Amino acid sequence: MLPDESPVSSSAATTLDGPPESGPWWLRPAALYDGERMLDAVALRIEAGRITTVVDAAQVPVRAACWRTECLAVPAFVDLQVNGGGGVLFNNDPTPQALFAIAAAHRQGGTGAWMPTLLTTAPEVMTRAVEAVIAVYGRHGVAGMHIEGPHISPDFRGAHSLEHIRPYDAHTRDLVRRLRERGIPVIVTLAPERLPPGALRELVALGARVSLGHSGATEAQARRALEEGASLFTHLFNGMPPLQTKRVGMTGAALDSDAWCGVIADGWHVDDTMLRIAVRAKRDHGALFAVTDAMPTVHGPPQFELYGAPIRLRDGKLIDARGSLAGVHIDMIGTLRRLVRDVGLPIGTALAMVTSGPARAAGIEGRHGRLAPGAPADIALLESEHVQLRHLLLEGVRVGGESGAPGAPRHASA
C-alpha cells in the first residue's frame, strides 16, 4: 500500500474509465479468473505494468485511482500455434516485421502471448524464421517458437509441403540449440516413427518441448516417445490416424497419457461431441488446451497463398482449390466463445484451456496465463454473457478494443 492510501470502501475511490497514463492504479472487475479460480469482489493493484496485489474490493484505498468495470477479468490468452494473421503467413515472410503484423492481428482476439509457428519448409527459411524470433522474443507477445515439421509423416502431412518433408538432421538440432541458448521456449512437432534412435532424447536434453503430431505412429511408438521425453500432442485428432476400438494408435495413447494435448475448436476440425469426450478423458491425465492454428485470414483478407497455392475463406472455413479443408480461421476469443456456447464447457474449464493450460504446457506459466502478485498485468476484459472481448491490457496498457471472432461459429460434421 502507498503511504497516502488508507483501506476504505472502493466506492470512495477515484473513478477511472481506463488505465491512467502513469502511477499506480486499481482494477475492480465484476469477477476475476486468475488462471485457477473464479473470484468475486476482488481488486488488483497495478504498478509499472505488473500486478502488485490482489485484495478484497473493500480494501481499495480512498484516494486510489480505480477503474471499475462490469467485465470479467481473465489472463490475456495464450496461443501456442499461430501460423499467421492480419494477411501475413510466417512461412511466406519469416521476418520481425511479419511477427509485428501477426501479433497486432491476434491482439484483436485477446491474445497476449503466442508462439509463431513455422510449417514444414526449406532449411534456409527455417534459419530466417529462427533469427526473426530471436530478434523479437519478449516483445509483441512473442513467447517462444513452435517448429511444426519438417520431420513428419508424408501420409499425415495435412497442408504441409511434401517436397520439404525430410529426415531429422543436424540443421534442426542446431536451430533448436540456438533458441534454447538464448532462453527462448521451443516446441518441436514431429513424427516419432520418423526419427533415428536418440534424436528425441537429444531435443529434450536441449530443453525443447517435443510434441507428437502429423504422424502415423502406433500406440507402442507413441508411448515409447513419451517415455523418451515427449510431453505434448499437436492438434489432437488432426494429422493422426483416427481412434479405433481395437487399434487406438497415437490418438488413444494421447488420451490415455499424462501428456498435454492441443486441440482446434473451430467446429470444422474436431466434432464438438469428440471435444467433450476428450475434455473428460484428459481431466485426470494431463489436460487439453486450445490452439487456433490460425492462418492469415484471421483479422486479415479472405485469401492467401500457402506453398504457392491459393487458399480461400468460404462459409467460415479455409479451403484449397480442390475444396479441401486447408487451415484454420478463428482467433482466441472465438475459440473461447465456441468452447462455452457450442461445446458447452463450464466457463472455468474453457478459460483454463486458453490461458493457464497452454502456458503450463509450454513451460511459460511463470510469466503468462495467470493474474497474481508479481505477474505482468496482461488482462483480457470480457463481457461474460456473450463471451465478447471488450478490452485487452498488456503490461497495464490498453491495446485492444471490442472485438468478435472472425467468421461465424460452425459445427463440423463427424
Q: Which of 272, 293, 331, 378 is catalytic?
A: 293
Residue 12 has pLDDT above 60, yes or no: no
Q: Which amino acid is at 24?
A: P
Of 4-13, 356-365, 391-400, minimum mean pLDDT range: 4-13
Distance CA(174)–CA(37), nearest Å, equals 40
Residue 412 has pLDDT above 50, yes or no: no
Q: Is 331 a catalytic residue?
A: no
Residue 411 has pLDDT above 50, yes or no: no
Beta-ladder partners of 40:
31
Residue 268 has pLDDT above 80, yes or no: yes
Distance CA(316)–CA(328), nearest Å, equals 9
> Which candidate, 111, 160, 161, places its Cα nearest to that of 334?
111
Beta-ladder partners of 364:
none
DSSP class of 294: B
Report the pLDDT value the prediction gives residue 9, as an integer from 0 to 100: 45
Give start-end residues of each CATH 2.30.40.10 domain in the chain.
10-75+370-400
Residue 11 has pLDDT above 80, yes or no: no
Distance CA(76)–CA(119), nearest Å, equals 25
Order the strands of the 303-306 sheet from edge to edge: 303-306, 309-314, 317-319
Report the pLDDT value the prediction gives residue 107, as an integer from 0 to 100: 98
Average pLDDT over every residue of 47-63: 95
Of 36-50, 149-163, 348-362, 393-407, minimum mean pLDDT range: 393-407
Beta-ladder partners of 7:
61
Of 23-32, 56-65, 307-316, 400-409, minimum mean pLDDT range: 400-409
Residue 10 has pLDDT above 80, yes or no: no
* Strand residues in 170-308 grouped as ranges (E): 186-190, 209-212, 232-233, 260-264, 288-291, 303-306
Report the pLDDT value the prediction gives residue 284, as an integer from 0 to 100: 72
**What are 93-148's pLDDT values in tens digits?**
999 999 999 999 999 999 999 999 999 999 999 999 999 999 999 999 999 999 99
The CA-based angle 80-215-354, given to 5 degrees, is: 20
Residue 101 zone, left/alpha/beta (φ > 0; ψ -120 to 50; rest): alpha
| CATH class of the structural domain 77-362 | alpha beta
DSSP class of 10: G
- The answer to whether the CB of 9 falls within 8 A of the CB of 26 is no
Report the pLDDT value the prediction gives residue 13, as an integer from 0 to 100: 58
H or E element that contains 278: helix 272-281
Residue 202 has pLDDT above 70, yes or no: yes
DSSP-derived 3-state class of residue 155: helix
Residue 335 has pLDDT above 80, yes or no: yes
Distance CA(164)–CA(147), nearest Å, equals 14
Q: Which amino acid is at 216?
A: G
- The answer to whether the CB of 192 falls within 8 A of the CB of 225 is yes
Q: Three cell numbers at 231?
A: 510431453
Report the pLDDT value the prediction gives residue 407, as an integer from 0 to 100: 38
Give start-end residues of each CATH 3.20.20.140 domain in the chain.
77-362
Q: Three cell numbers at 54?
A: 490482489
111-118/145-148 β-pairing: parallel
Percent of the chain with pLDDT over 90: 87
Distance CA(373)–CA(357), nearest Å, equals 19
Report the pLDDT value the prediction gives residue 410, as an integer from 0 to 100: 38
Distance CA(202)–CA(53), nearest Å, equals 41
Per-residue pLDDT band for 274 (boundaries 50, 70, 90) equals very high
Does the model's pTM come out above 0.75?
yes
Report the pLDDT value the prediction gives residue 404, as an integer from 0 to 100: 43
DSSP class of 75: E
Half-sphere exposure of 68 (CA within 13 A, CB side): 12
Beta-ladder partners of 188:
147, 210
Percentage helix, strand, coil, to 5, in the chain? Answer: 25, 25, 45
- CA 261 distance to own-chain centroid: 12
Distance CA(293)–CA(324), nearest Å, equals 17
Average pLDDT over every residue of 55-77: 95
Distance CA(121)–CA(352), nearest Å, equals 32
Exposed/middle/buried for residue 47 (C-beta within 10 Å: 0-12, 13-18, 19+)? middle
> Which candidate, 407, 368, 402, places its Cα nearest to that of 80?
368
Q: Beta-carbon neighbour count of residue 12 at 10 Å?
A: 13
Average pLDDT over every residue of 272-297: 93
- The backbone torsions φ and ψ at residue 348, rounded to the nearest 5 degrees and listed phi first, read -65, -40
DSSP class of 393: E
Report the pLDDT value the prediction gives residue 401, as an integer from 0 to 100: 46
Q: Three cell numbers at 202?
A: 537429444
Domain 10-75+370-400: give its CATH superfamily: Urease, subunit C, domain 1 (2.30.40.10)
Residue 74 has pLDDT above 80, yes or no: yes
CA Rg value for the chain? 21
